[in-house]
Structure 1
């Protein structure tokens, strides 16, 4: 299957890694990144739209059809944030973008970067986990061809990319140790990206993918 993908959050560590693998993958034909600021990446497969306001895509809707995948890597940390603001930037923003894309691309597979320990019940004590759980649940109700929720834990970034310098300088030694002791919590960013690509190519039996599922799907 040939993939035409939209990627959000490509200027962050996860999105940058997913974009990198998409540009290398033979089954990915075209990539559209929607960024708030220029990403600084140039490639024959790549097109970029600069869009400051992700809560109003009306002006660019005409450029968002004809895609069969979205890898939604946009997100914010909940540190220091009250629940209403975190919910607006996580649940409301994600659902607005997803609803727009599902309307324009009914054959689309939507992949959402969530996180380990996300709360599907939406009732736990952890604010960020409740909001992420609500976001996952709402996305799975939208009329996409398929929707997958990816819950990575500790990820080893892809060496050589812009957002990996701190990792390789200070904490790279943690990864092999963690993977050996607790493989259910450790993967590489490359494995996450390949799992997202393969979710479109071959699919997966579960809509929510924990770290072990991510590693398995990356091998497909």
Structure 2
């Protein structure tokens, strides 16, 4: 099975890539990136594909990805330095919507797994507003293109401390807001474990959704016709998916 990953040089993307590399059901991984991806070096089933502009895919690339079952979209940006509001909108809103429309075209089913943020409805800051705009756009495309199966995972906290395989790929020096997050996330996990999803589990969840048949998520924490999932629903869904995989593996051995 062929899946696509974006944002693989970031923390969440590297977690997804590690899980996908070790998933025997995933036979091919196309990593779309504007920079080198050391994590795929010497990995026979993974290829890093240089994309100079995520708002304009050439026909050759689209054809190369035409057999992909789904994509895990981890690409995103936050307000910092000299980045403009227009750049944030282009990266966080326009890029994922363009990719969803482009890669779903002509396919029977194409899963678009989007990494979002918990608290969108509060619109506390610009990054959350952009995620909300992208979600609205994905639902609109879903109505127009029934073969497009979007999922949005509204993440609160992801603890990566135990995910040793990705530590060497974390970029240094880290910006201040990521350093702050590394202190805040353990606190969230301690006081409200239901809002945390450890990175191996989150990577597994995103990979599974990209591989599956596009059915709506069945969970008390699922909204928007089962297309979006709130953070408290992550760990129960991970357990459900793992149980299903164990049952399938047991059935094969009988």
Task: Report the TM-score, using the length of structure 2 for normalisation.
Answer: 0.75
In structure 1, the partner of 2:237 is 217
In structure 2, the partner of 1:11 is 9
User: Deviation digits for residues 192-220 of structure 1, max 9, x if unmatched?
Assistant: 11111232337522211122222122221
> Does the 8 A contact of 1:64 with 1:104 survive in 2?
no
In structure 1, the partner of 2:129 is 130
User: Deviation digits for residues 21-55 of structure 1, max 9, x if unmatched?
Assistant: 00111221211111112202231221221111111
Q: CA deviation at 1:170?
A: 9.1
> Does the 8 A contact of 2:113 with 2:206 survive in 1?
yes
Q: CA deviation at 1:17?
A: 0.8
CA distance in 2, matches of 1:171, 1:85: 23
CA distance in 2, matches of 1:65, 1:105: 8
What are the within-5 Å matches in structure 2 for residues 20-35 of structure 1?
20-35=18-33
In structure 2, the partner of 1:73 is 74
Q: CA deviation at 1:18?
A: 0.3
More helix per residue: 2
> Does the 8 A contact of 1:192 with 1:214 survive in 2?
yes
CA distance in 1, matches of 2:76, 2:12: 10
Larger radius of gyration: 2
Alignment CA distance shift 1:182-1:47 (3 Å) = same
State which drifts further: 141-150 or 70-79.
141-150
> Does the 8 A contact of 1:37 with 1:52 survive in 2?
no
Q: Secondary structure at the residue paired with 1:110?
A: strand
CA distance in 1, matches of 2:106, 2:63: 9
Structure 1, gaps ≥5 residues long:
none
Among 188, 192, 202, the alignment partner of 1:178 is: 188
> Does the 8 A contact of 2:155 with 2:231 survive in 1?
yes
State which drifts further: 8-17 or 40-49.
40-49
CA distance in 1, matches of 2:65, 2:49: 10
RMSD after superposition: 2.6
In structure 2, the partner of 1:160 is 165
Alignment CA distance shift 1:211-1:166 (3 Å) = farther
What are the within-5 Å matches in structure 2 for residues 5-154 of structure 1?
5-40=3-38, 41=40, 42-59=42-59, 60-80=61-81, 81-119=83-121, 124=123, 126-142=125-141, 143=145, 144-154=147-157
Q: CA deviation at 1:171?
A: 7.6
In structure 1, the partner of 2:206 is 196
Structure 2, gaps ≥5 residues long:
219-225, 242-254
User: Deviation digits for residues 113-155 of structure 1, max 9, x if unmatched?
Assistant: 1112123xxx946332222111012112322442100111121
Among 186, 208, 219, the alignment partner of 2:228 is: 208
CA distance in 2, matches of 1:175, 1:93: 28
Task: Report the TM-score, using the length of structure 1 for normalisation.
Answer: 0.85
Following TM superposition, the consecutive aligned residue runs of length 4 or more in structure 1 with deviations greater than 6 angstroms are: 164-167, 169-173
